Structure 1
């Protein structure tokens, strides 16, 4: 044992530290005899146990004769081992062994007493008894092990969060750029020796804004910063089905508010008749009532309400279906989740429900823009194989919006842009149908009317100058080109016969009426001196167009049959033409226009007869228009009788006629035709609804 104090233990390639060589022989023997757990498989203790084997070794053989041998042994121990470790034979990385771990606190080490500090305890029993601070000076290897263990746990948690966020982003149509940045930042902070499998990259959602769109959309940038869900559009919109919560709720048919038998009858009627008037069925893509119910309650209720409007049952079905539709629309105003069929349902209601048309079309456009239909329309023009339904619905909305803006003298919501001006490129798609041709013919005429509106402005008190007549001629030429382009492209439909092609001529006449009636803006009957021959010619063209529109509607069998089925816009055409002819004949006699009382009265009487034929449909607007025009025609005839007074009343009537011709009665036109002329005083009763609707049209009429 004395020799152990003089020199460290050395074996071939193994060195016992000089510190351990100075330890008392008893303590060293105790450590060698009882190594820590896990150290029996090799290393220092295994070698020393071999040294203690009497047959092979003796303690005297461990003594070195000079210091040179000790130095050489130390150099061999410090030099890197170039031989491959035992674990490298199978390709695994070599893990260094930990020689010792500090388990005692600093106070116990200083007193050289046993420390009973266990893992998880803050203080040992001795430090607790003495009420002193218990500090453990951990070795560097222990600190690294703890850090690696913590990092491994955090990496696993981050990867789990990334996977969950990717699933959420895929459902909510959120771009995964932020998740990718987080992944990259986490990977950069990992230890170089730790290799983790990266999760597979999530595909970019098919729908939703791209990173380019986020740059151009401030609200999208706000979402990226705040992650607020309530500023995002509907994640279920493009899957054609309602959210699970709504799908699990019973709809109004399941609740018994409308019987299944009546609902199926109304749905089938819409598919076979009314749907054909919406350009061949663009508005309805479902074959069965069950499919429509599963997709959208708004669509289903709109179809039932519109069809019941045309049912000859004294309005009983309409009185049931209409409140259901109003209730669902009211809920949709503040609903976050919408589908494409919700938009279609709002459009269907707008095309036929006159008291809601403007509000429904505006709501439909707002929801559609939230669903980014305008962006998908642009994508469909670039890629002819995708986004067909979205593009069709956007053009459908464009026509719906302009039906109830141009006719009422209001600015349209959807403005002209490349997707609108280049709309005919959509017809080059391989899946384009005759319904698409009919729809895009409407887009073409409303592009022209929108340009007319923006060229001359909404101010009806501004007189059109003579220098603007050339613009009128250009627009007239554009309308003629549009008519010649589309009249032969639209083929007959099995449900509405020749209506598609004949509707081109009806739209052409009405468009010219709107165009040339602008020449009466800012004029009064007393100021006939301001009407130049050229202006008079344009006004006469407006009169000719109004007469042609009424002739076509009254004398063509296909057009007469469509009165009870066409959308509201074409009934507006009839009403506007009748009002314009009565107003020109009554107010502008001194202007020498090409119009006579004998021509106007038969046309209006024929229109009233056609509208009154719809009397069984007591809730249809055509029925109210017939009543309103009848009342106006009676007043028109009463005033005309002033031209043929009795001999004893000649002087009085001549004075009245002079006042009329000079236009002094002009401010009383609304009072004369519509009572007090105050729309707020009118109610939607059967007696005055027609006058209310006609008064709204008259308020937008120039002159």
Structure 2
């Protein structure tokens, strides 16, 4: 069998000869049994057995030649290329329909000549690749400048003087020395976009829950259930429309919690609860969140016992990404309404975190720092309501319970040592003092 000859080209590179590439003309058409006995095999294309093997009951096996294997492989390759092209075209249609930027550049596949050229010249530079060839970059490979989608490091904020604080110095120095882009969030996205959902379809506009049913559930929540969480401190909106425009997750949480108490055999809950779980799952990897998203997770944590601990942990992580823990001190310094609102939500998270950790023998995530132990200072600000007093009464009791937890640990089976009874008496006195202190400051609530 002749071999393909290559001659040197003018630039010293190999060049394929003008003669055609010889093909393997001999094809195996007989099965092994007929070949061994050197008799004619009458197997036809598409049949699994020849007549002789079927009559005698032998295994009819045809050893495919190299040419047959190559033909089968080429057919499979052509079929896969056609499917990939169809998939790329469908993806482009979807991106155009959704007005999305085209992230995958569609390029034609290599022609047979280009494939042979690429195989014969493995060291060919990328800029010398055949025209129309995607050798330069893979369309599915992420760009080298792709930034992380979660805020794992502080954004550069030029307008804040706190950037030069001692607490930020170690990590800030690391960023300046390494200049690694991928350990920082996208530097171009320093300002979080204003979240507005008015023009985006939610599960109500999609018909998963009717508007009349959603209005009824929301009205029921505002009339009764909302007051159970310290006078309605978890909801700052008065209408369903305002809530929908602010946070779809909060809307779904309110409807799911209210549907849990509806006297309809669980039909409304079966519709609302999966929607809330789906939105919660999507929020895990979302880049931006709102304060109402955190409120929605907290509402779900207090009422939906099956997922309480998971929702509480997710809410705390999102809150720390939004730096809510820094606004307690800022609220006392400037008394800005925005700072007070964020500080109020951080104390709400503290209660939520401790409520679902200490009672179940789990260590809480939020620690008792100075902003927690001096929480009552915030109540001296103007415009504090009874809801704030009720919330801070819970902060006070969980401060005591946290000390109890850290003193005796999470092992409930161990015996109390003799030298620990004094600590028990001290904590008992603290709880009695807490009761007397807050009982005189809290007015009666008609729903509680």
What TM-score does the superposition give when structure 1 sets the normalisation length? 0.39
1:446 to 368, 381, 398: 398
2:441 aligned with 1:482: no
Structure 2 unmatched ranges of 5 or more = 1-153
2:302 aligned with 1:320: no
1:388 alignment partner in structure 2: 340
2:362 to 407, 410, 425: 410
CA contact (8 A) 2:155 2:184 kept: no
Q: Per-residue CA shift, 1:469-499, capped at 9, x if unaligned?
A: 00000000000000000112111224x1xx3
Count of residue pairs the alignment pairs up = 292
2:200 aligned with 1:249: yes
CA contact (8 A) 1:406 1:449 kept: yes
Q: 2:439 and 2:348 mapped to 1: Cα distance?
A: 20
Normalized per residue, the structure richer in helix is 1
The verdict on how the C-alpha distance between 1:267 and 1:249 changes in structure 2, with shifts beyond 3 A counting, is: same
The verdict on how the C-alpha distance between 1:361 and 1:326 changes in structure 2, with shifts beyond 3 A counting, is: same
1:222 alignment partner in structure 2: 175
CA contact (8 A) 1:308 1:318 kept: yes
Q: Per-residue CA shift, 1:215-262, capped at 9, x if unaligned?
A: 24627953894455963799676x8x526xx66431111111111111
The verdict on how the C-alpha distance between 1:305 and 1:480 changes in structure 2, with shifts beyond 3 A counting, is: same
2:352 alignment partner in structure 1: 400
RMSD: 2.6
Q: Per-residue CA shift, 1:589-613, capped at 9, x if unaligned?
A: xxxxxxxxxxxxxxxxxxxxxxxxx
2:185 aligned with 1:231: yes
2:156 aligned with 1:174: yes
Q: Per-residue CA shift, 1:292-349, capped at 9, x if unaligned?
A: 1111111010000001001101000000000000000000111111011100000000
Q: 2:174 and 2:289 mapped to 1: Cα distance?
A: 22
- Per the TM alignment, residue 278 of structure 1 is displaced from its structure 2 partner at its CA by 0.8
- Per the TM alignment, residue 360 of structure 1 is displaced from its structure 2 partner at its CA by 0.1
The verdict on how the C-alpha distance between 1:236 and 1:476 changes in structure 2, with shifts beyond 3 A counting, is: farther
- Per the TM alignment, residue 382 of structure 1 is displaced from its structure 2 partner at its CA by 2.8
Q: 2:155 and 2:326 mapped to 1: Cα distance?
A: 15
2:213 aligned with 1:259: no
Structure 1 unmatched ranges of 5 or more = 1-171, 177-203, 500-703
2:422 alignment partner in structure 1: 470
CA contact (8 A) 1:437 1:489 kept: yes
Q: Per-residue CA shift, 1:525-564, capped at 9, x if unaligned?
A: xxxxxxxxxxxxxxxxxxxxxxxxxxxxxxxxxxxxxxxx
CA contact (8 A) 1:365 1:397 kept: yes
Residue aligned with 1:355, SS:
helix
Q: 2:182 and 2:407 mapped to 1: Cα distance?
A: 42
CA contact (8 A) 1:373 1:391 kept: yes
CA contact (8 A) 1:230 1:336 kept: no
1:38 alignment partner in structure 2: none
What TM-score does the superposition give when structure 2 sets the normalisation length? 0.61
Q: 2:397 and 2:175 mapped to 1: Cα distance?
A: 39
Q: Per-residue CA shift, 1:436-461, capped at 9, x if unaligned?
A: 00000000000000000001111234
Q: 1:379 and 1:303 mapped to 2: Cα distance?
A: 30
Q: 1:298 and 1:221 mapped to 2: Cα distance?
A: 36
1:437 alignment partner in structure 2: 389
2:254 aligned with 1:300: no
